[in-house]
């Protein structure tokens, strides 16, 4: 049957995705083993104190720019050996802050310059490439605006360039505001996994590791030999480090040199950062994997390069699996590891997932492993919910959409008492939130399906992802704030700011209202369209276990009231077996047959033959309803309603965007 074929096809996709995700997971465990190797990096003082150019790419970072410049100038390194380049593309107050600060340090004898450009062509990569022509010495250190290099950084890091083949030294990121919130704890743990496992494992072996864009030092000759900074992708750091290693240069990761940085505290900023990393990674895969394949490098290096560059495809794969699972559960497909022991399904999931991660956490952090384990719980929700944002990024990369390097705004947040909500650079939520809420609502329905389909063991797994979608969407909305300077009184707030606040508040109310209405309609639709079929299948199961003719007639009449009188939910390749009009006729015929059987003595062969036939017909009807159930979710009316629902919310975004543009032009004209 076409329906069974479709269900089998979906099951094959589901299993294929499960295998792929498992392979990516086990690859991480392989890197865990490599990271445990003890390798002592050689360093020498023979290099002395060579000239180092320190590049500080900055764009509109008025809250942290001065902190970075002050930290760099406070390094215990001779002034005449440091060439500091402040690469400033800012078009706000940051420019004046840096201009004054650079002038002050120049008067103190520092070799520091304020380098600006007429436009942001190439964004960060463009700024770095533009500054290469004025680099002094053989080494180039790079720090992003939100980093705070320690005063001993150059003294400890430079000696590791003892071997001429070492082209890059990458240092570990620290986190000055890790304890600020659950969001920052989740991000900190994710980054720590990356550095202490992935980067360390690759540095310990011949595998390719990546430059993380900051808190590292390049050998100038390595940059030039690899072709310099390219602007074709959003992750110029990953791109350059791979090209350098394909040229034969070695990259080192130093876990004992930690450079503190500020984690994003606003959800919309964190999503922007994740989007850029995910999209850029796929862009690099498209750009570099061909060269990786044909290059004469070890086979396992090729495999690991493929895994690193493509790992973000896990996000769309997980979403596809999330969409398919409820359909398979509705179709009563056996998804258990061992059919007679469904508990093994959840055990297997825990064994290759959370249990192993907790063991890794305990090994890495020992005494503080309990707090890190709590952060891991936050990370589960964060990663699950972020999969929507990253999936959009992956498709953006595959579709070749125009690159725009959108920076991750920082606010100088260090302590829990610090507040960012009244500062500039706050980002509003985007259209991606619609998808996050959709998957959240879909997850709630999936939990009910898992329970009512007799597979409640899957409900917790679905629930984790569902909570993740709601967690991300909730913070995206609650973290949407709008600038209001503390020094301003309510009377001095501009008309444009008042209008902006009003429009955004009304938009959020409208979106929340539409979402709530959509959730109610989804629940109402399930109760009226899908649940009656579930009830009918349960009654047909009971018919197969009884020989009481009166009970069977009562059951059949109940089913007649539960099922639609006519129609066929399968609008793609419809079959007679799922036609409700024909099913109603079959029920009438079954009632007539049972009435005839009731006139025959129960100990006769005719009665037993009739009951066997009745049980078989009930079994077949149950299978037909099972085939029809998944299509009740995608009925024509549901598709129309969902389309109108999404169109309404998109309409709100469109109006909001138009108002925002008008307000912007209003502010500009007001300033003139």
DSSP per-residue codes, 474-505: HHHHHT------TTS-GGGS-HHHHHHHHHHH
**The pair of three-digit structure tokens given for residue 74, joined into one six-digit string:** 């406070």
Asked which of 260, 289, 318 is the last residue of a domain, the reply is: 289
DSSP for residue 401: P
For a pLDDT cut of 90, what percent of the chain falls above it? 59
Tokens representing residue 450 in the block: 């898992």
Q: Which residues pair with 168 in a beta bridge?
A: 218, 251
Q: Is the dihedral of CA 132, 135, 141, 142 positive or negative?
A: negative
Q: How many whole angstroms from its chain centre is CA 54?
A: 33
Instruction: Read off the CATH number of the domain in which 217 is found.
Output: 3.90.550.10
pLDDT at 221: 97
Residue 185 clears pLDDT 60, i.e. is over it: yes
* Structure confidence by residue, pLDDT tens digits, 509-540: 776 776 677 777 777 777 788 888 888 988 99
* Residue 363 located in a structural domain: no
Six-digit token string for 639: 């598709």
Does 15 or 466 have the greater pLDDT score? 466
Q: Which of 258, 289, 320 is the last residue of a domain?
A: 289
pLDDT band at 569 (very low <50, low <70, confident <90, very high): confident
Q: How far is CA 387 from the centre of its chain?
A: 3
**More confident position, 509 or 398:** 398
Where does the pLDDT of residue 492 fall: very low under 50, low under 70, confident under 90, or very high at 90 and above?
Answer: very low
pLDDT at 182 over 50: yes
Look at residue 490 and tell me whether its pLDDT is greater than 90: no
Is pLDDT of 667 > 50? Answer: no
How confident is residue 491, by pLDDT bands cut at 50, 70 and 90? Answer: very low
Residues contacting 522, CB < 8 A, separation 6+ = 441, 445
645 close to 520: Cβ distance less than 8 angstroms: no
59 contact partners, CB below 8 Å, separation of at least 6: 88, 89, 90, 94, 120, 123, 124, 145, 407
Q: Examine residue 226 and state whether it is found in any structural domain, yes or no.
A: yes
Instruction: Say if strands 166-175 and 216-219 run parallel, antiparallel, or are unpaired.
Output: antiparallel
Range of the domain at 228: 43-273+281-289
H-helix or E-strand spanning residue 69: helix 65-73
pLDDT in tens, 305-326: 999 999 999 999 999 999 998 8
* The token pair that represents 341 in the structure block: 């022991």
Strand partners, 252: 169
**Rounded CA separation 572/207 (Å):** 49
The per-residue pLDDT for 44 is: 67
CB atoms within 10 A of CB 359: 12
Structure confidence at residue 516 (pLDDT): 74
Per-residue tokens: 667: 């502010």
Cα–Cα nearest to 133, from 228, 212, 59, 57: 228
Residue 333: C-alpha distances to residues 344, 490, 532 (Å)? 16, 61, 20
Q: 671 pLDDT exceeds 50?
A: no
Phi-psi region at 183: left, alpha or beta (left = phi > 0; alpha = psi -120 to 50): alpha
Mean pLDDT of 420-426: 87
CATH number of the domain within which 486 lies: 1.20.1330
pLDDT at 292: 94
For residues 530 and 508, the answer to whether their CB atoms sit within 8 Å is no
Cα separation, 214 vs 172, in Å, equals: 10
C-beta separation of 597 from 611 below 8 A: yes
In a domain, 566, yes or no: yes
* Separation of first and last alpha carbons in the chain: 71
Residue 653 domain flag: yes
pLDDT given for residue 394 in this prediction? 95
Residues facing residue 228 across a β-bridge: none
Strand partners, 57: 87
- E strands, 471-602, are none
- Mean pLDDT, range 367-389, rounded to an integer: 93
| Residue 429, domain member (yes or no) | no
Residue 557 resides in a domain: yes
Q: Which residue has the tokens 């949407």?
A: 480
Indicate whether 483 pLDDT > 60.
no
Answer for the pair 349, 461: CB distance below 8 angstroms, yes or no: yes
Number of domains the chain is built from: 2
Q: How far apart are CA 308 and CA 300, in angstroms?
A: 12
- Rounded to the nearest 10°, the torsion over CA 536, 542, 547, 551 is -60
Instruction: Note the pLDDT tens digit of each residue in 59-105.
Output: 999 999 999 999 999 999 999 999 999 999 999 999 999 999 999 99
Of the two residues 606 and 530, the one the predictor is more confident about is: 606
Residue 161 DSSP symbol: G
pLDDT single digits (tens) 198-230: 999 999 999 999 999 999 999 999 999 999 999
The secondary structure element, H or E, covering residue 173 is: strand 166-175
Geometric angle at alpha carbon 436, from 432 and 442, rounded to 5°: 140
Looking at every residue in the chain, the average pLDDT score rounds to 86
> What pLDDT is stored for residue 452 in this prediction?
76
Domain boundary among 257, 289, 321: 289
Structure tokens at 173: 């990121």
Residues classed as catalytic: 89, 237
> How many Cβ atoms from other residues are within 10 Å of residue 596's Cβ?
12
Q: Are the C-beta atoms of residues 60 and 90 closer than 8 Å to each other? A: yes
Q: Is the pLDDT of residue 177 over 80?
A: yes
Residue 160 lies in a domain: yes
Asked if residue 84 is part of any domain, the answer here is yes
């Amino acid at each position: 049957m076409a329906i069974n074929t479709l269900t089998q096809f979906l099951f094959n996709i589901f299993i294929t995705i499960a295998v792929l995700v498992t392979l990516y997971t086990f690859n991480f465990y392989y890197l865990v083993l490599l990271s445990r190797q003890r390798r002592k990096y050689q360093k020498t003082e023979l290099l002395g104190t060579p000239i180092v150019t320190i590049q500080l790419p900055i764009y509109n970072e008025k809250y942290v720019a001065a902190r970075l410049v002050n930290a760099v100038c406070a390094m215990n390194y001779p002034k005449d050996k440091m060439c500091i380049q402040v690469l400033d593309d800012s078009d706000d107050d940051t420019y004046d802050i840096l201009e004054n600060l650079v002038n002050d340090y120049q008067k103190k004898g520092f070799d520091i310059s304020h380098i600006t450009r007429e436009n942001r062509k190439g964004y960060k990569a463009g700024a770095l490439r533009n500054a290469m022509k004025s680099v002094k010495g053989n080494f180039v250190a790079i720090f992003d605006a939100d980093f705070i290099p320690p005063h001993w950084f150059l003294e400890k890091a430079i000696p590791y360039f003892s071997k001429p083949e070492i082209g890059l030294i990458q240092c570990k990121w620290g986190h000055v505001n890790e304890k600020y919130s659950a969001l920052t704890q989740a991000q900190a743990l994710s980054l720590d996994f990356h550095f202490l496992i992935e980067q360390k494992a690759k540095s310990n072996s011949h595998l390719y590791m990546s430059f993380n864009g900051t808190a590292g030092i390049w050998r100038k000759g390595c940059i030039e030999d690899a072709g310099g900074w390219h602007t074709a992708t959003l992750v110029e750091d990953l791109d350059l480090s791979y090209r350098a290693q394909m040229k034969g240069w070695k990259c080192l990761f130093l876990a004992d040199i930690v450079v503190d940085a500020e984690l994003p505290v606003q959800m919309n900023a964190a999503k922007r950062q994740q989007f850029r990393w995910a999209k850029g990674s796929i862009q690099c895969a498209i750009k570099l994997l061909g060269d990786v394949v044909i290059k004469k490098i070890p086979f396992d290096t090729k495999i690991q390069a493929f895994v690193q560059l493509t790992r973000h495809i896990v996000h769309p794969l997980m979403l596809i699996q999330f969409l398919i699972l409820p359909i398979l559960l509705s179709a009563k497909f056996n998804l258990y590891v061992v059919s007679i022991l469904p508990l093994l399904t959840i055990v297997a999931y825990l064994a290759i997932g959370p249990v192993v991660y907790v063991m890794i956490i305990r090994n890495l952090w020992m005494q503080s492993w309990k707090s890190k384990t709590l952060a891991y719980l936050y990370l589960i929700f964060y990663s699950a919910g972020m999969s929507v944002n990253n999936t959009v990024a992956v498709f953006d990369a595959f579709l070749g959409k125009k690159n725009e390097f959108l920076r991750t705004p920082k606010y100088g947040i260090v302590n829990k008492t610090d507040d960012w909500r009244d500062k500039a650079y706050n980002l509003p939520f985007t259209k991606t939130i619609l998808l996050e809420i959709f998957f959240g609502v879909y997850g709630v329905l999936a939990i009910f399906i898992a329970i009512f389909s007799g597979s409640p063991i899957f409900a917790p797994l679905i629930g984790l992802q569902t909570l993740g979608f709601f967690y991300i969407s909730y913070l995206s909305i609650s973290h949407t704030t709008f600038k209001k300077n503390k020094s301003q009184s309510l009377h001095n707030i501009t008309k444009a700011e008042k209008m902006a606040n009003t429009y955004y508040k009304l938009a959020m109310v409208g979106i929340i209202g539409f979402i709530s209405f959509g959730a109610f309609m989804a629940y109402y639709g399930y109760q009226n369209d899908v649940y009656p079929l579930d009830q009918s299948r349960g009654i047909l199961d009971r018919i197969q276990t009884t020989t009481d003719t009166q009970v069977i007639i009562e059951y059949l009449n109940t089913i007649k009231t539960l099922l639609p009188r006519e129609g066929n939910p399968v609008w793609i390749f419809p079959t007679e077996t799922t036609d409700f009009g024909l099913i109603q006729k079959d029920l009438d015929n079954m009632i007539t047959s049972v009435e005839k059987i009731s006139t025959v003595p129960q100990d006769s062969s005719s009665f037993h033959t009739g009951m066997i036939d009745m049980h078989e017909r009930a079994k077949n009807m149950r299978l037909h309803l099972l085939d029809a159930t998944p299509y009740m979710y995608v009925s024509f009316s549901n598709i129309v309603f969902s389309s109108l629902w999404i169109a309404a919310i998109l309409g709100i975004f469109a109006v909001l965007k138009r108002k925002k543009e008008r307000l912007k032009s209003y502010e500009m004209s007001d300033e003139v």
